[in-house]
Structure 1
Amino acid sequence: MFKRTLIGLAVLGASVAQADVLTSIKPLGFIASAITEGVTETKVLLPVTASPHDYSLKPSDVTQLQSAQLVVWVGDGLEGFLEKSIEKLPREKVLTLEDVDAIDDIVDKASKKEDKDDDHDHKHEHKHEHKHEHKHEGHNHEGHNHDHHGHSHDEDWHIWLSSEASELAAEQIAARLSEQMPEHKAKIAENLAKFKANLTAKKAEIAKQLEPVKAKGYYTFHDAYGYFEREYGLNSLVHLPLTQLLPRVQKHLQQSRKTLRKTKHNVYLPSRNLRRK
């Protein structure tokens, strides 16, 4: 009996020593769980239905952050609600992906391309409006819509939709866990290699699936898919700003319905975080 108790305490002690990984959002949870398979447990802080753009921490969330051995988040560019709580944690137990130079380079490159594309669209729109409003004196800049893309002048930190950034995130998680749990270094390396192989295979599978519809235009309710769209050459037409104030939403929807009736585009990509009213 005494021997069994000692064994039980030893097992319990080992499980407590293991590093639980806590990710801020589900997409990072998928990446982390692939690396921690057979090593330790991965948990996700936010509920699946919650958005990192407007989430408020609960006391139980703070407890999870404090008890986790490794907290993985993108950074205050995406999860601003976490910034103050993260600052209170020891640096060695936090992995901030936006601080990874290679990931930051991907985001910076995408941001510059987005700004260039938006500038081109803005000039084209201005020229078009000027052509049809030449009878008016001066230029009315109040009519220009500068927020038809939610992140047009901000950095896009939806990095899990970039296969390159996802792979870099997996490498960072693996490296940090290998430091914290050197006894599992071989298994972590095996998981990382498996993740990369699966990612390569999935990229080829997705590219094949999307090939027949690449030319089809589609609308989204959230400007979050830029990395995915560029990687697979998709034809995103416009992002409908449904999360803005209701009067603006209603006006934009009326305009959108007219546009949709005139076009042959019938593909829509909703956001699961939108609340139905």
Structure 2
Amino acid sequence: MKKTILSLSLLSLSLFSHAEVLTTIKPLGFIANAITDGVTDTKVLLPVSASPHDYSLKPSDVEQLNSAQLVVWVGHGLESFLDKSIDKLPKERVLTLAEVPAIAEIVAKTEKHDDHDHDHGHHEHSHAHDGHDHSKDWHIWLSSDAADIAAEQIAARLTQQYPAQEAKIADNLANFKTVLTAKKVELQKQLAPVKEKGYYTFHEAYGYFESAYGLHPLGSFTINPTVAPGAKTLAKIKEHVSSKQAKCLFAEPQFTPRVIESLSKGTQVKVGQLDPLGAKIEMGKNAYPTFLQSLADEFSQCLAEK
């Protein structure tokens, strides 16, 4: 009987020691990985080619959600495909970043009222019914301040689950903060020469990054990457390209519309590619600063004078 109890205890300990943190998207995985390094594993739910804007859960995804010790997601405003599955999980196993007061405060500052140009082609109102709240900027992983807070929250949850690893978790968090602070200083210097250069991004995802480094966006092709840009938007972009106000048009690896190629053809405007999900960045304890660096490199390379 004692052997059975001991065996079950060891099995339980073994399963717990290999339990992982599961994040919905890769950038959240970058942040989590910095804190879980040497403590437990971090896994990412969405494939690198997928976007949270149009993803559909598979049975294997539900299995991962049910087996993870901690699920980290932005919230209902972004990953609406998770609503039902998340609600079925115990609250102590879910970290909803949008509900963290300090992050909610950051997001609240981006709220837009219904006064923007509703020009989205024949899909004009589809973004209001796609399950996403487009009145706020939910791309919080592009805010280094929000990332810092997220790291603190993940560290706090891990410390509860792994009290014996408290010192290691604290060390990981301190390292994340130190490296991130240094990276922000580097990026300020790198992006300073291109601050006044105008450009268009594919969709409204980069507001936090742009504000942090004083960049000069002229607009975006669309609010929602699953919705085609409308005629008014395209006419405005074409005007800015013709007048050379727009130095670069940025596509994304998840969505590469032909319209960017069409608008840039026969002009001097450059075409770049921004990846808001860091598909090519390898997971690791310093992956998040590397991710920010990759964005800065794309901006500086495309906006630099020829």
Q: Which residue of 1 aligns with 2:194?
A: 213
Tell me: higher relative CO, structure 1 or 2? Use CA pairs within 8 A at least 6 residues apart. 2
- Distance 1:244-1:186 versus aligned 2 partners, 3 A rule: closer
| Deviation sequence 1:126-149 (CA, Å, 0-9, x none) | xxxxxxxxxxxxxxxxxxx3357x
In the comparison of the two structures, how many residue pairs are matched?
240
- Distance 1:166-1:234 versus aligned 2 partners, 3 A rule: same
Counterpart mapping for 1:51-200 below 5 A: 51-111=51-111, 114-115=112-113, 145-146=117-118, 154-200=135-181
Q: Does 1:21 align with 2:21?
A: yes
In the alignment, the residues of structure 2 paired with residue 12 and residue 60 of structure 1 have an alpha-carbon distance, to the nearest angstrom, of: 24
Instruction: Determine which of 252, 273, 276 is the counterpart of 1:271.
Output: 252
Give identity over the alignment, percent.
59
In the alignment, the residues of structure 2 paired with residue 13 and residue 174 of structure 1 have an alpha-carbon distance, to the nearest angstrom, of: 23
Q: Does 1:240 align with 2:212?
A: no
SS of match in other structure, 2:203: coil
Q: Does 1:204 align with 2:185?
A: yes
State the 1:255 CA deviation.
Answer: 5.2
State the 1:268 CA deviation.
Answer: 2.2
State the 1:17 CA deviation.
Answer: 1.3
State the 1:272 CA deviation.
Answer: 2.0
In the alignment, the residues of structure 1 paired with residue 119 and residue 39 of structure 2 have an alpha-carbon distance, to the nearest angstrom, of: 45
Q: Show structure 2 runs of 5+ residues with no match.
A: 1-7, 121-126, 259-306
- Distance 1:31-1:255 versus aligned 2 partners, 3 A rule: same
- TM-score normalised to structure 2 length: 0.71
State the 1:153 CA deviation.
Answer: 6.1
- Determine which structure has the larger helix proportion and give its number: 1
- TM-score normalised to structure 1 length: 0.78
**8 Å contact from structure 1 (residues 243, 249) kept in 2:** no
- Distance 1:106-1:37 versus aligned 2 partners, 3 A rule: same
Letter in 2 for 1:46: L
State the 1:215 CA deviation.
Answer: 0.5
- Distance 1:96-1:194 versus aligned 2 partners, 3 A rule: same
Alpha-carbon RMSD: 2.7
Q: Which has the larger radius of gyration?
A: 1
**8 Å contact from structure 1 (residues 174, 188) kept in 2:** yes
